[in-house]
């Protein structure tokens, strides 16, 4: 049995002492005796998750997909580096998303500092563009619609390929119909806000309650 996992730092296992052994994907695979493919990466976007799913990997090789969507304001772009290309992450501060869903007033918008964007975004001279993009072009409605399109894209692709899917999110403000919203509290939260070891154990336990995963136990 092979299980496909993708997401951001929450799926990667950021802030864990031994992420490859302690993250929820490993815990689930250990119980099922399954082979784990974990593509989670810190600061990753939903755009990256969809690129991995549709372009970079063959999802038909897997018996199950567990995908954790992230904050919808994140994105990526392709940068040419000589003969090579690299996908560059664009990731505004987390409190930008909180402001987006709870306030959205221009006067209270968090400052978009250069050091909160990917290094190569600054090197390319693109930081001012992304600051303009977030401040003047996009808004809550745009990101809400984009998130819905991304959700439907992931669900439809897995359905067409015949791969069972558990679709999660860390966006606690989202109104979309996810199978599970990942959250942390004071006991399950690491210093920088990611799930700690107990948090990953709780995520694994909650995922096991999903009907699709119950089928494999």
pLDDT digits (tens, 9 = 90+) for 155-184: 999 999 999 999 999 999 999 999 999 999
Q: Residue holding tokens 């709780």?
A: 202
More confident residue, 94 or 196: 196
User: Residue 189: is its pLDDT beyond 90?
Assistant: yes
Domains assigned to the chain: 1-73+146-217 (3.40.50.1110), 74-137 (no CATH)
Q: Do 6 and 67 form a contact (C-beta atoms < 8 A)?
A: yes
pTM above 0.85, yes or no: yes
Of 49, 98, 109, 110, the closest CA to residue 75 belongs to 49
Give me the pLDDT at residue 81, please. 75
* Pair 212, 165: CB distance under 8 Å: yes
Which of 144 and 114 is assigned the larger pLDDT? 144
Report the alpha-carbon distance of residue 127 to residue 95 in Å, rounded.
18
Question: What is the DSSP annotation of 114-147?
Answer: GGGS-HHHHHTT-HHHHHHIIIII--HHHHHHHH
pLDDT at 118: 58
What are the pLDDT digits (tens) for 190-202? 999 999 999 999 9
Instruction: Quick: pLDDT tens for 47-82.
Output: 999 999 999 999 999 999 999 999 999 999 998 877
Q: What is the mean pLDDT of residues 184-192?
A: 95
Question: Which residue in the block uniquely carries the two structure tokens 């593509």?
Answer: 39
């Amino acid at each position: 049995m092979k299980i496909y996992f993708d997401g951001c730092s929450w799926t990667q296992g950021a802030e864990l002492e031994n992420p490859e052994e302690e993250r929820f994907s490993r815990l689930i695979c250990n119980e099922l005796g399954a082979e784990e493919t974990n593509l989670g990466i810190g600061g990753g976007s939903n755009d990256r998750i969809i690129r991995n799913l549709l372009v970079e990997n063959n999802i038909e090789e897997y018996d199950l997909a567990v995908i954790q969507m992230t904050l919808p304001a994140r994105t990526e772009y392709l940068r040419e580096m000589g003969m090579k290309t690299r996908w560059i992450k664009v990731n505004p501060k987390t409190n930008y998303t909180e402001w987006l869903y709870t306030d959205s007033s221009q006067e209270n918008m968090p400052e978009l500092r250069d050091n909160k964007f990917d290094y190569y975004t600054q090197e390319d001279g693109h930081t001012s563009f992304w600051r303009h993009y977030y401040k003047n072009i996009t808004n809550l409605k745009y990101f809400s619609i984009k998130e819905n399109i991304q959700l439907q894209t992931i669900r439809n692709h897995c359905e067409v390929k015949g791969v069972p899917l558990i679709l999660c999110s860390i966006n606690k403000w989202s109104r979309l119909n996810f199978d599970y919203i990942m959250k942390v509290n004071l006991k399950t939260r690491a210093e920088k806000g990611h799930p700690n070891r107990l948090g990953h154990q709780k995520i694994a336990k909650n995922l096991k309650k999903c009907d699709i995963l119950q089928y494999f136990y």
